[in-house]
Amino acid sequence: MKLVNKKTRIEDLGMVSYKTAWDYQTAIFTKSVNLKLENRRREDRGEHTISTENYLLFCQHPHVYTLGKSGEENHLLLNQTGLEANGVEFFKINRGGDITYHGPGQIVGYPILDLDNFFTDIHKYMRYIEESIILTLSDYGLKAGRVEGLTGVWLDFEPGAKNPRKICAIGVKMSRWVTMHGFAFNVNTDLTYFDHIVPCGINDKAVTSLEKELGEPQDLKEVQNRVKFHLLNLFEMEVESEVKKTININY
């Protein structure tokens, strides 16, 4: 019998290196996938199954560029010397999508969910993540939406708009309906770092931030709480625990 568990552990990791957070995600993700495989064997033996866990991780990263599986390396416009001069790391990673930037002042969210606990629809999952950012922007008086054929959240998004600009990028990995990676929401982000890449492989549209749109820096924690509120409502999550957590590379 499949156990549905919508309880979600919410962890604020603070400022953490990309590699450390990636390793931490991978450990949680792998544990959940392996449990699902073991549960299948338990069912075959007529034994009780064990419910999988759900996590919602929030963090910021020091300056880093990440390239997804379908991305092109020439969309990074800096060589190794340029990366070092700008204090930026670079990783090829196992999510979908092309190249993007993470850095201070950006809210990064990593939902590690077993979608068997919610709904088994990857497109709905992506749209819900987008919707959480769209609703958050609406809280700040900004109208945001989607651009047909492109993931993420955009301002000035209507067909024929003169200046469509992306404020949130999304890239995920999924196996056996378990998700990892997630979204990067530009709040007080230094947008000059996007000048060194072709963001998400799109060279004819701009990138923006909440600070730029509103004309002043925003309270990052307040914005994060609004995103969290909308995610919890959309996915009908039950909060199991909520903590600030420091992790290390040896987790």
- In three-state secondary structure terms, 66 is strand
Rounded Cα distance between 208 and 169, Å, is 11
Q: What amino acid positions are annotated as catalytic residues?
A: 200
Sole residue written with tokens 């910021």: 60
CB atoms within 10 A of CB 251: 10
Rounded Cα distance between 87 and 98, Å, is 21
Rounded Cα distance between 232 and 145, Å, is 20
Rounded Cα distance between 75 and 60, Å, is 23
